[in-house]
Structure 1
Amino acid sequence: MASGKADKTSKTSFKNPNKRLPLGPNRAKKNKTKKKVNKTKKNQNNNESNGVQRASASQQLSFFLNQFQSANGVQLSSLELESIKDNCILELSKGLDQDANTLGKHMKAAFRPSWKEVLCEGQLMEGKIDCGSPAIIIFSASAIRSLELLRGLRPLTMECHAVKLFSKHMKVEDQVSLLKNRVNIASGTPSRIKKLIDMEALGISRLDVIVLDMQTDVKGYSLFTLPQVRDEFWDLYKSFFHQRVVRGDLRICLYGAVPVDAEIKKIEKRCS
């Protein structure tokens, strides 16, 4: 009997070996605080992955100028920096994520009351709307990403289709033909866009906004960091866009999360 009782007691003691004792009040409070901090960090990371833009216009401009100087090996003078104003940066709604699906909503808001006339209508207007001259050009590092962003613009392009300007599976001749019609929105890669501008098939007289995709690919590269694409973009920017930005005739939209770091702060000091 004694032996049987001992066996029963032994089984009972090992029934829940992983059962935890209740935490004391101080330890429970500490764990609760830790969970709250981790949840906050997770939300911040989710915001970054969703492309929520938190940088101000000034910070975005500083980031852009830093990239410009670094990629081209130049140092802009204080006079040159002062000539480039914050209003050349298109600030987007902080209430919307910056992903492919919401791009159309952001662009609609950017053009305010005239959005339908500028971005949707498909008729050429002699003396006002030339063929092959978009109001928006979207720059991406790849053809696949260009297509992703175009999907978010479908509500705006039903009447006047957006033009795909990249080399993958598309001939230059076909794109030249498409650009003989009214074009409100174009999306592509720097190399093909520059080629079409050089051929005078793609016009920029009506261009109001250039959208620069900030998303990184699976290897961590972006429009500003993928070596060949980066060089092609800055060559295009210097040749056709920089002076228009300085004059205030062209707005830059950095679409996606923009980092704010020590390098940006250095440029901000030079601007002040």
Structure 2
Amino acid sequence: MAKPQKHSKSHGSSKRPGKHGLKPKIKSSKKVKKSESEAAPKPPPPPPPPPELLLTTSQQLEFFIQQYQSANSIQLSSLELESFTDACILKLSESLPQDVSNLSEHMKAAFGPSWKEVLCKKQLLGKISEPGSPALLTISLSALRSLELLRSLKPFTRDCHAAKLFAKHLKIEDQVSCLKNHVNVACGTPSRIKKLIDMEALCLSRLAIVVLDMHSDVKGYSLFSIPQIRDEFWELYTTHFHQRVLDGSLRICLYGTINANNFKKKGKTDASG
């Protein structure tokens, strides 16, 4: 008598979740993850960069005074404020953008018909000028930025080389040596400029315009936003420029657009002292 055949183990394997049986579970788990990701709140978009302002002469003066008071932790009296006039600030053409490439054109207009003699000649005609006494000085936050400004001033420096007044890659002895010659244009950083003035290597007898570079670098830093450099500039200004600005022999040029966050409207300035 034939024995009944036993069902093989493989016969019942179709009931187990094989390769094809796992697909619904994977698909459903993907759906769960997708729905969870859709439900999660999306991160807010990054804030837009702060707007930049091209200020009028009066607004530039107001901004400059605000920075002066803030850096020195003082509040000027009404009498002291009267000493500052719009004439302290160099008015630039509104039709020409204030970028690096146009700096030389703005300075030609600022110095007027005599710009070639004052900014280009190796020696002033019929005059004996003190060595190391530029007529134009630009101040920026770094050596790299100073070099950019220098390149834009090439129309003035072909015959009479500009003085590079910053510390990076330059020895102060070499700068002192350079300033023993006739100089029309100089570019540098606050700390090195002040040091050379204090050493009596850099002379200010011809200085007519100081350009303050308002440019912000890729990290958003500017001449007035880095505490150490800002403090070095205001020490230079109060020691060597302030009185000359007030008496009208020196003008300040705020070159470039100004970050709106750095400019407080009149009446919102914190009072102190």
With the length of structure 2 as denominator, give the TM-score of the two structures: 0.76
Find the aligned partners of 1:223 and 1:266 in 2 and give their Cα distance.
24
Find the aligned partners of 1:99 and 1:159 in 2 and give their Cα distance.
24
Aligned-pair CA distance for 1:104: 0.5
Structure 1: where are the runs of 5+ without partners? Answer: 1-44
For the pair 1:235 / 2:235, whether they are aligned, the reply is yes
| CA 231–119 in structure 1, closer or farther in 2 if over 3 Å, else same | same
Match of 1:244 in 2: 244
Find the aligned partners of 1:152 and 1:178 in 2 and give their Cα distance.
20
Tell me which amino acid in the other structure corresponds to 2:264.
E
User: Quick one: percent identity of the two aligned structures?
Assistant: 63
Aligned-pair CA distance for 1:259: 4.7
Aligned-pair CA distance for 1:80: 0.6
Match of 2:199 in 1: 199
Tell me which amino acid in the other structure corresponds to 1:179.
L
Query: SS state of the match for residue 196, structure 1?
Result: helix
Find the aligned partners of 2:126 and 2:170 in 1 and give their Cα distance.
29
Find the aligned partners of 2:129 and 2:90 in 1 and give their Cα distance.
23
Q: Between Structure 1 and Structure 2, whose CA radius of gyration is higher?
A: 2
CA contact (8 A) 1:100 1:152 kept: yes
Written as runs of structure 1 = structure 2, the 5 A alignment for 1:162-241 is: 162-241=162-241
Written as runs of structure 1 = structure 2, the 5 A alignment for 1:1-272 is: 48=52, 54-123=54-123, 128-259=128-259, 263-266=264-267
Find the aligned partners of 1:160 and 1:207 in 2 and give their Cα distance.
16
Tell me which amino acid in the other structure corresponds to 1:233.
F
Aligned-pair CA distance for 1:131: 0.6
With the length of structure 1 as denominator, give the TM-score of the two structures: 0.77
Find the aligned partners of 1:266 and 1:128 in 2 and give their Cα distance.
48
Structure 2: where are the runs of 5+ without partners? Answer: 1-50
Match of 1:42 in 2: none
Query: Which string of whole-angstrom CA distances, capped at 9 and with x for unpartnered residues, describes residues 200-238 of structure 1?
Result: 000001100000000111221110111111010000000
Tell me which amino acid in the other structure corresponds to 1:117.
E
Aligned-pair CA distance for 1:128: 4.1
Find the aligned partners of 1:200 and 1:126 in 2 and give their Cα distance.
25
CA contact (8 A) 1:59 1:260 kept: no
Find the aligned partners of 2:134 and 2:125 in 1 and give their Cα distance.
13
Tell me which amino acid in the other structure corresponds to 1:265.
K
User: How many positions carry a matched residue from both structures?
Assistant: 222
| CA 213–61 in structure 1, closer or farther in 2 if over 3 Å, else same | same
CA contact (8 A) 1:146 1:188 kept: yes
Find the aligned partners of 1:153 and 1:258 in 2 and give their Cα distance.
22
Aligned-pair CA distance for 1:267: 7.8
Aligned-pair CA distance for 1:178: 0.6
